[in-house]
Every structure is written in structure tokens, then in C-alpha cells.
């Protein structure tokens, strides 16, 4: 009987055994839905405030001292602004969140305006309030437009072409794609996938290591004429189908969420995840399974019980979360050396795939190879642990 046959025996026993364990199955299924569900909830809650409402609704602009600038008021109303006259203190109104932005026409406005001097106006706002930034920008743009319009009229009245004051004609070309505009949401997805890689086979690994010892079946098992490395490899492999299934369900759920849920209503754009991108993300994720399982096995081997193993192993997915969060906040340009870092390289690649940026195949191959090499080292460490006598007794 070959080593491979013995590994297969261990593999099938653990798969059958864990398929009968509701805990293993339930955790695999539930964890696969965390990412897609959480993302939809965030999009529904945040998308509305960040993207759509601010742009489509008329700008609500509170004005203090409106009677001093009737022409400006007329201009604003013509541009669709919903004017509110403010009698109370503008600064308090903004600080308390009553209005996002207040236009203040101070006392000296009329006098300066009629003398042709720069007439003071104030925009009162709170720059730390992210959700107000769209309203503030719109208000500033409208006041600037009025400023320019009056200035041009004054120049024309003096017989000067307004172009004299405009040496530059500034044009903006926005290179953002619909996908990159939704980047905030899309940037979370790579981490959700890494999370699922860690959660998918977790229970199987704990059950076959710490669980095996806790229920007292490890000692009789090790009496069988099977090398320790064969046990370790068989048990590790048993976690793979569970993790693969979990990743698969996650990707299907993401695909349904992006392709069928009316995202446009919430973030103003439509994101499509093509079958090809989904398949690529799936392939990129597979090498991480071996890494996650081997790490979990090493930790679970050091613990006394199923519960204790669960506590420690649950912390593992927080490690790839650190670069993952960085990725969501800062745009990082992928370079080859980053592919050498397991889970980080994959998150970068998944990110690029999702926003539709081209990524070279060599990046994918280097990342897969680096992850597999490090995984092999971890498997080797796990085997060495299983060859020690104390694996029987656990930590003391």
C-alpha cells in the first residue's frame, strides 16, 4: 500500500466525518455569505448618502442676510437652489448640523458691491463632515459662477474683452471608470474573499487536530502503521473541499449581488462581474487555502481543546486584514515584490481584476508560487510537530 493510498484513506474519512458535522457545514455556508451580505448592507446604507442624494436633490442652501443681495438670490434660484432664509446664527446652525452649508451676506456687501470693490461673502461649512462636501462644492461653484458673470459684465461695460482675465482655459478630463468610482466598495471585496479562505476549512482543521485529541482518538490513530506526515497531509487535504466550496458560494453570491441587485440606485453606477473575472478570482484564491489550513493546523496542534483552538484560530484572518484595510483606504500600485507576500499579493490582484485593470499573468503566477512555497514550509512545520511525542498530550 502506497503513501498516497493511506493519505486518501485519511482524507475520505475526515471528509465523510465532517460532512456529517452540522457545525462544519453550517460555518462554511454562513461564512461564505458574510462578505456579500455585509457589502450590500453597506452599499444600501452608505451609497445613498455618499453618491446619489447629494447630486440629484436640489441643493439646500441657507442664506443669512439674503435681503442684501437680491440679484445673487435670483441667480441661485435660477440655478435650481432651494433657498432657506436663516435668521439665527449661521455658525451654530452648521455646527449643530442643521444645515450643511450657509451663505452669509455680511453688512458691508451692498456698499462694496455698488462701489465695484470685492464684496465680502462667507460660506460657513464643516470640512470634517464628509457627507456635506458635495453640497459645499456645489455652493462654492455657484457663487464662483456668479462672481465670474458679474466680473465679465463689468469688463464688457468698460469695453474690455472678458478673455483678458482668463489666460488659461482649464479643461478637466476625468479618467475615472464606473468601477473605480465605486472603488470604496470594491476595495472591501478582496479582504472578504481572503476572510472566507480562512473560515471555510477552519472547523475541519480544528476537528481533525485539536478535536481528535480532545475526544481521545488521536492515540489509537497514531498506533496505525501510517507515517505522521501522511496523517498531516490527509487531514490538511480534507479541509480543501470545504474551503473551495465556501469560496465558490461567496463568489456566486457576489456575482448575484453585483449583477442582479439594482446597485445603480444606490451608488449611481453599475458594476459588472464577468464570469471570467470570477473564475480568475477563484483561481487566485486556491493557493491561499493550503496556507490558511497549514497555519490553522500549527496553531490547533498547540491548543488543549476544540474551544481553545477555535479562539486562537479565529484571530488568524485579522492578519491579512491589516494590509487589506490599507488597500481599501490608499490606492497602492501593485509591484512584483508585493506578490511575494501571501494574501497581500492576492488581495492586490483581486482588486485589479475587479476594477477591470489589466494585470499581467506573471503576477498571478509569482503570487501563487510564493504562497505555495511558504505553505509547504508551514506544512513541514506541522509535520514536525506531529512527529513529536507531545502531540499526544497537547501543551502542558
Residues of this chain that bind another protein (CB under 8 A): 1, 5-6, 9-10, 13, 16-17, 20-21, 215-227, 389, 392
Do the Cβ atoms of 333 and 305 come closer than 8 Å? no
Considering beta carbons, is residue 50 or 204 the nearer one to another protein?
204
What span, in angstroms and rounded, lies between the C-alpha atoms of 10 and 22? 20
Considering beta carbons, is residue 214 or 280 the nearer one to another protein?
214
Here the cell at position 290 is: 493550503
Considering beta carbons, is residue 21 or 179 the nearer one to another protein?
21
Q: Min. distance of Cβ 226 from another protein in angstroms?
A: 5
Q: Min. distance of Cβ 396 from another protein in angstroms?
A: 9
Considering beta carbons, is residue 4 or 337 the nearer one to another protein?
4
Q: Min. distance of Cβ 212 from another protein in angstroms?
A: 8
Here the cell at position 351 is: 482588486
Q: Min. distance of Cβ 271 from another protein in angstroms?
A: 42
Q: Min. distance of Cβ 389 from another protein in angstroms?
A: 6
Q: Min. distance of Cβ 294 from another protein in angstroms?
A: 22
What span, in angstroms and rounded, lies between the C-alpha atoms of 182 and 268? 9
Do the Cβ atoms of 92 and 114 come closer than 8 Å? no
Considering beta carbons, is residue 221 or 336 the nearer one to another protein?
221
Considering beta carbons, is residue 16 or 177 the nearer one to another protein?
16
Amino acid at each position: 500500500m502506497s503513501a498516497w493510498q493511506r493519505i486518501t484513506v485519511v482524507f475520505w474519512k475526515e471528509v465523510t466525518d465532517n460532512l456529517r458535522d452540522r457545525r462544519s457545514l453550517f460555518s462554511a455556508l454562513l461564512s461564505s455569505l458574510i462578505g456579500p451580505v455585509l457589502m450590500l448592507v453597506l452599499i444600501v446604507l452608505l451609497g445613498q448618502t455618499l453618491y446619489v442624494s447629494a447630486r440629484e436633490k436640489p441643493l439646500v442652501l441657507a442664506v443669512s442676510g439674503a435681503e442684501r443681495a437680491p440679484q445673487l438670490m435670483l441667480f441661485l434660484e435660477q440655478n435650481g437652489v432651494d433657498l432657506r432664509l436663516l435668521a439665527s446664527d449661521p455658525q451654530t446652525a452648521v455646527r449643530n448640523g442643521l444645515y450643511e452649508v450657509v451663505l452669509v451676506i455680511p453688512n458691508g456687501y451692498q456698499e462694496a458691491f455698488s462701489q465695484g470693490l470685492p464684496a465680502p461673502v462667507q460660506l460657513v461649512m464643516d470640512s470634517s463632515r464628509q457627507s456635506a462636501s458635495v453640497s459645499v462644492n456645489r455652493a462654492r461653484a455657484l457663487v464662483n459662477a456668479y462672481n465670474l458673470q458679474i466680473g465679465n459684465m463689468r469688463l464688457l461695460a468698460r469695453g474690455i474683452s472678458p478673455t483678458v482675465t482668463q489666460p488659461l482655459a482649464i479643461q478637466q478630463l476625468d479618467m475615472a471608470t464606473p468601477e473605480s468610482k465605486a472603488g470604496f466598495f470594491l476595495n472591501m471585496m478582496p479582504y472578504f474573499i481572503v476572510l472566507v479562505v480562512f473560515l471555510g476549512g477552519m472547523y475541519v482543521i480544528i476537528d481533525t487536530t485539536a478535536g481528535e485529541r480532545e475526544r481521545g482518538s488521536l492515540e489509537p490513530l497514531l498506533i496505525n502503521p501510517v507515517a505522521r506526515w501522511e496523517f498531516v497531509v490527509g487531514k490538511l487535504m480534507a479541509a480543501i473541499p470545504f474551503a473551495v466550496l465556501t469560496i465558490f458560494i461567496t463568489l456566486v453570491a457576489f456575482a448575484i449581488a453585483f449583477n442582479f441587485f439594482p446597485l445603480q440606485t444606490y451608488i449611481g453606477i453599475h458594476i459588472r462581474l464577468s464570469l471570467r473575472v470570477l473564475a480568475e478570482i477563484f483561481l487566485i484564491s486556491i493557493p491561499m487555502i493550503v496556507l490558511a489550513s497549514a497555519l490553522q493546523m500549527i496553531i490547533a496542534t498547540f491548543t488543549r481543546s476544540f474551544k481553545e483552538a477555535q479562539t486562537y484560530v479565529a484571530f488568524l484572518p485579522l492578519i491579512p486584514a491589516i494590509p487589506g484595510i490599507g488597500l481599501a483606504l490608499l490606492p497602492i500600485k501593485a509591484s512584483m515584490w508585493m506578490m511575494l507576500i501571501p494574501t497581500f499579493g492576492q488581495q492586490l490582484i483581486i482588486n485589479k481584476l475587479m476594477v477591470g485593470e489589466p494585470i499581467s499573468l506573471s503576477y498571478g503566477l509569482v503570487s501563487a508560487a510564493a504562497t505555495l512555497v511558504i505553505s509547504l514550509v508551514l506544512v513541514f512545520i506541522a509535520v514536525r510537530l506531529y512527529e513529536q511525542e507531545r502531540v499526544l498530550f497537547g501543551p502542558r
